[in-house]
């Protein structure tokens, strides 16, 4: 029985710490108020960088929509970085008023594509905006990004949100995105910490970004590498909740698994790489942001945390009742479950409290299982380029 109690205590501590972490930031996110920035009449030059690998299905539509910004057309360029596109796609892109940069690598990565593009571009830009090949900016996105850089910021993350919620997997993916927006962006900013960046829908001072990207060695998770570098330098990353970028959400369970496998692998890689350095900076320099980011990488995925807390609570409450009659531990498990569930309740936007979400929850157990499988298969995933194929689904077909 002693071993049983020790295991129970260890799990309570580990799951409790992970739950308290997201609970604290989910509560903080409720107090987030978006600051309104003024551009003071100064309009800066912007490079909208869109790297794409075999994205023939979506890139033409994305390029056309990217040009429709409420921003002076002579002050921004849409730069499509085309890796392994079909000839007919390239020919169609060349007819658009964009900059097309064709690239080819033995091993393709997003960081290589961005570096090649910035080495090729000869215009002196003020701001670099990075999008994924399926992203669509709201018409006022660049205007809001421009205003932020009138202030002393080096990087900003826009509000990436769902382009489509046409099936259960897309809905769950959309909810996951908004939970992360609330916890790792809104909640962090309320408590004075930097916003997390996502890899797209983000912007930087151009020269700084160009210099920073030249140091990147990541195959996967380049955004995590540059984020750690910025935080180690003591830079602050801000968040613009009202600067929207619409992102295609996954359509199939296998894509869910592959995508999470890539993310988890990158997180574990950078936790191992930076944890001791972050701990040292915390103790010697008081760099909370850098340490928080390292700790963030070892946090269990939210979907797995929810499953582990609920499953652990049910299991141990029953075992405590039938085997040991340790009601004190059972009380702790019930409290932990309530806190964990409240963390999700506070961080899921009200717009998702509807029948469609209730139906999508039926896929949640499979999502938890897929995430667990991804966790077991992460070895080496950070050393391999794992491509997420996008479709031409530019609008929410669930409404049709």
Q: What is the pLDDT of residue 393?
A: 47
Q: What is the pLDDT along the chain (400 residues), one digit of tens a residue?
A: 788 889 999 999 999 999 999 999 999 999 999 999 999 999 999 999 999 998 998 999 999 999 999 999 999 999 999 998 999 999 999 999 999 999 998 888 899 999 999 999 999 999 999 999 999 999 999 999 999 999 989 999 999 999 988 888 889 889 999 999 999 999 999 999 999 999 999 999 999 999 999 998 777 778 999 999 999 999 999 999 999 999 988 766 555 556 666 667 777 778 888 899 999 999 999 999 999 999 998 888 888 889 899 999 999 999 988 886 667 889 999 999 999 999 999 999 999 999 988 888 887 777 777 767 666 665 554 555 445 555 654 445 333 3
CATH classification at residue 128: 3.90.550.10
- The C-alpha atoms of residue 97 and residue 212 are separated, in whole angstroms, by 28
Q: What is the pLDDT of residue 108?
A: 84
If asked whether residues 315 and 174 sit together in one domain, one would say no
Backbone dihedral region for residue 187 (phi beyond 0: left; psi -120 to 50: alpha; all else: beta)? alpha
Q: Judge whether 82 and 90 are in contact, CB under 8 Å.
A: yes
If asked whether residues 216 and 324 sit together in one domain, one would say no
**What beta strand segments (E) does the chain contain?**
46-53, 76-83, 99-103, 127-130, 136-137, 155-162, 202-205, 237-247
Whether residue 70 lies inside any domain: the answer is: yes
Whether residue 225 lies inside any domain: the answer is: yes
Q: What is the pLDDT of residue 397?
A: 39
Q: What is the pLDDT of residue 392?
A: 54
Strand order in the sheet with 136-137: 99-103, 76-83, 46-53, 127-130, 202-205, 155-162, 237-247, 136-137
If asked whether residues 162 and 247 sit together in one domain, one would say yes
Whether residue 41 lies inside any domain: the answer is: no
If asked whether residues 303 and 337 sit together in one domain, one would say yes
If asked whether residues 103 and 243 sit together in one domain, one would say yes
Instruction: Tally the domains of the chain.
Output: 2
Q: Judge whether 65 and 392 are in contact, CB under 8 Å.
A: no
Q: What is the pLDDT of residue 321?
A: 85
If asked whether residues 142 and 209 sit together in one domain, one would say yes
Whether residue 36 lies inside any domain: the answer is: no
Q: What is the pLDDT of residue 394?
A: 44
- The C-alpha atoms of residue 114 and residue 236 are separated, in whole angstroms, by 22
Q: What is the pLDDT of residue 379?
A: 59
If asked whether residues 161 and 200 sit together in one domain, one would say yes
Residue 175 structural domain: 46-270
Q: What is the pLDDT of residue 375?
A: 62
Predicted structure pTM score: 0.87
């Amino acid at each position: 029985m002693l071993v049983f109690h020790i295991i129970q205590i260890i799990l309570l501590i580990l799951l409790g710490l992970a739950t308290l972490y997201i609970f604290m930031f989910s509560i903080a996110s409720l107090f987030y108020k978006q600051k309104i920035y003024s551009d003071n009449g100064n309009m800066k030059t912007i490079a909208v960088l869109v790297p794409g690998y075999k994205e023939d299905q979506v890139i033409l539509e994305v390029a056309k929509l990217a040009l429709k910004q409420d921003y002076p057309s002579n002050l921004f360029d849409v730069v499509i970085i085309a890796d392994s596109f079909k000839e007919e796609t390239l020919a169609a892109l060349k007819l658009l008023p964009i900059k097309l940069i064709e690239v080819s690598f033995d091993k393709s990565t997003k960081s290589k594509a961005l570096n090649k593009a910035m080495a090729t571009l000869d215009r002196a830009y003020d701001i670099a905006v990075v999008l994924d090949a399926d992203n669509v900016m709201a018409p006022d996105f660049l205007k809001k990004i421009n205003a932020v850089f009138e202030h002393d910021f080096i990087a900003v993350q826009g509000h990436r949100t769902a382009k489509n919620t046409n099936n259960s997997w897309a809905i769950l993916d959309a909810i996951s995105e908004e939970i992360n927006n609330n916890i790792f962006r809104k909640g962090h900013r309320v408590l004075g910490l930097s916003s997390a960046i996502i890899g797209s829908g983000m912007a930087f001072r151009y020269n700084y970004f160009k210099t920073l990207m030249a140091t990147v060695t990541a195959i996967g998770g380049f955004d995590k590498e540059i984020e750690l570098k910025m935080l180690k330098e003591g830079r602050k990353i801000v968040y613009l909740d009202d600067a929207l970028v619409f992102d295609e959400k996954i359509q199939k369970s296998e894509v869910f698994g592959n995508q999470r496998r890539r993310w988890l692998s990158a997180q574990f890689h950078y936790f191992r790489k930076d944890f001791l350095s972050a701990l040292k900076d915390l103790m010697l320099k008081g760099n909370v942001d850098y340490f928080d980011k390292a700790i963030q990488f070892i946090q269990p995925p939210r979907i797995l945390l929810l499953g582990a807390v609920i499953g652990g609570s049910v299991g141990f409450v029953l075992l405590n009742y039938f085997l040991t009659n340790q009601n004190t531990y059972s009380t702790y498990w019930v409290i932990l479950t309530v806190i964990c569930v409240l963390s999700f309740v506070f961080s899921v936007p009200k717009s998702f409290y509807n029948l469609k979400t209730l139906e999508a929850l039926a896929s949640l157990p499979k999502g938890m299982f897929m995430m667990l499988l991804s966790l077991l298969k992460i070895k080496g995933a950070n050393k391999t380029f794992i491509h997420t194929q996008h479709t031409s689904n530019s609008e929410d077909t669930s409404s049709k």
